[in-house]
Amino acid sequence: MKTPIKKQLPAGAPEILPEVQQSVEIGQDLALSTSETDDVLAAGIDLGRLEAATFFATVADSTALSIYENVKKSKAWKHLRNPKSCDGRNFESLDEFCEVKLGKSYRRVQELSANRRFIGQEAFEQAERIGLRQVDYNAIKALPALKQVIVRDALADGASKEEVQRALRELAAADQKEIAKLTQERDDLLAEAAATQEVLNKKNQRIDKLELQAKIVADTDWPKALETVSDQAAAAGRKAFTGLTELEACRIQLFDVGNALPEEEQVKYGAALGFVADVYERALERVERAVAKERLTFDKTLGAYAPGSKK
């Protein structure tokens, strides 16, 4: 049987990490050989270093941000020597200071500073510890304020990278559905508003037209404007009078001709006058009907405006 070997750390060594302690205990519990125990111990140390590196990287980022903010505010970087310069000159820009002293570009440090202000120190440390990328921070910023608080609280409570990214996807999907719904509602309202505006535009155009017509009417000299119609009515009256006068001339001419005939022709001529009298009578009847109809219509309409009539 192999004899368990307990490894003793040298005096004055730093406090043993949990992973190292666990590796030593495993070696003791399994009664491993010296070489096997050394392998387990080495693996534990590597794991501890990895955890420590992650922890110190996060602390380093926080410390670097504090240094950056203090140096930026005080402008102390102008008075610090650039160790990478050949001539011992001071830093020429804050960007140069960030690259040399903080190991990051000025733009990246600005992003980190903005990220920390955005989610708070505790959530920021966890976010950096689990390796959130800038795209993840941007996704959080794109969320509504209430949902941003949910993610911040989850980070402060120690959420893993997978949990945070899954939550971001779910929250973003819910937002997308809400955005699509609101967009449709907006489009419907815009379409309704456009239809309403079209109706209002047509109504306003009609009102404008009526107002213009009213103004034109108010400015019109109607007696002058109706002169053409008055002239036409007068001309039609003269034509009707001329027609009746011509009828009368025909009648007079018939009797003048008859009076000039010999007595023996009077009987034949009288028989011929019967035919003419029938034509003449039908002409008068047409005229009388037309005049009677026009008189009736006139009395009921235009005659009400005639001088002396009772309106």
Confidence band for 34, pLDDT divided at 50, 70 and 90? low
Residue 51, pLDDT > 60, answer no
Q: Report which of residues 41 and 248 the model is more confident about.
A: 248
Portion of the chain with pLDDT greater than 90, in percent: 5
> What count of other Cβ atoms lies within 10 Å of the Cβ of residue 24?
19
In whole angstroms, what is the distance from residue 162 CA to residue 168 CA?
Answer: 10
pLDDT digit string, tens, across residues 56-87: 444 456 777 888 888 888 888 888 888 888 88
Q: Given a cut of 60, is residue 40 above it in pLDDT?
A: no
Residue pair 72/98 in contact (Cβ under 8 Å)? The answer is no
Give pLDDT, residue 293: 92
Q: Is-above-0.85 flag for pTM?
A: no
User: DSSP letters of the chain?
Assistant: -PPP----PPTTPPPPPHHHHHHHHHHHHTT--HHHHHHHHHHHHHHHHHHHHHHHHHHHHHHHHHHHHHHHHHTGGGGSB-TT-SS-PBPS-HHHHIIIIISS-HHHHHHHHHHHHHH-HHHHHHHHHTT--HHHHHHHHTS-HHHHHHHHHHHHTT--HHHHHHHHHHHHHHHHHHHHHHHHHHHHHHHHHHHHHHHHHHHHHHHHHHHHHHHHHHT--HHHHTHHHHHHHHHHHHHHHHHHHHHHHHHHHHHHHHHTS-HHHHHHHHHHHHHHHHHHHHHHHHHHHHHHHHHHHHHHTGGGGSTT---
229-283 confidence digits (pLDDT tens): 888 888 988 888 898 898 889 889 888 888 888 888 888 888 888 888 899 899 8
- Residue 47's contacts (CB-CB under 8 Å, 6 or more residues apart) are 19, 23
CB 32 within 8 A of CB 7: no
Q: Over 50: is that where the pLDDT of 161 sits?
A: yes
**Cα–Cα distance, 161 to 145 (Å, whole number):** 21
Residue 20 has a pLDDT of 41
